[in-house]
Amino acid sequence: MNILGLLILLMHVALAKENKLSIGLIGDSTVATTYGWGPAFALEVNKNVNVLNYAKNGAALDSLSSKLDVLLKQKPNYVIVQFGHNDMKRYDTKAYGDKLKNYVKRITNAGSKAIIFSSVTRRNFDKHGKIEPRMINGRSLADYAQVAKFIATEMHVPFIDLNSISIKHHNKIGPKLSATYNFTETDTTHFSKEGAKAIAALIIKELKSVIPELGTHFK
């Protein structure tokens, strides 16, 4: 290859990198690469999309704050924020809302677009075969979902109510099929590969509706 050809090739590589869409994920273990929905989500994007998964097992908004800074240095176009499972064990909904608002401000100030998710449901069923919220310290994930929606509305950023969407989904398929989503037989929070894939499909469907410009970036 001559020098001109090499320069043209390098230019195309540079343009491809520049045009690549980047989506950051930050949240707890229900999003993380271990047994969250994040890896299944990453498999469903087109080759022009880079998914940066900064979610971590056991994380809450305050404990992953420094990781958000690391993520934002990579200049993602979008940052999906999903917390709640561990936050509800540590602080009340007001503190959660304040910390979530801080995340959105930092994401926006860095030039990225925040997308707030409410937490995917735990898969606990009542005697009628319907999802029954697990209470911790007198609070449920639904309480934190309401705050997430309020913050998204207040700060004018997109909101995906994954809590309600996933509850509706599991109520529809029932306990037996829902059990196939479990990471282990008794783990009704984290996901098997099949469960992660199903939740990722729900997320992508909703993203295409709420943020239409993302629609072409999925398979």
Q: What is residue 78's predicted lDDT score, i.e. its pLDDT?
A: 98
Residue 205 clears pLDDT 70, i.e. is over it: yes
Residue 9 clears pLDDT 80, i.e. is over it: no
Query: Rounded mean pLDDT of 112-119?
Result: 98
Torsion of CA 118, 124, 129, 131, to 10 degrees: -20
Q: pLDDT band at 2, cuts 50/70/90?
A: low
Give this prediction's pTM.
Answer: 0.91
Q: What is residue 22's predicted lDDT score, i.e. its pLDDT?
A: 98
Q: What is residue 1's predicted lDDT score, i.e. its pLDDT?
A: 55
Q: Write the pLDDT tens digit of every residue in 61-107.
A: 999 999 999 999 999 999 999 999 999 999 999 999 999 999 999 99
Q: What is residue 204's predicted lDDT score, i.e. its pLDDT?
A: 98
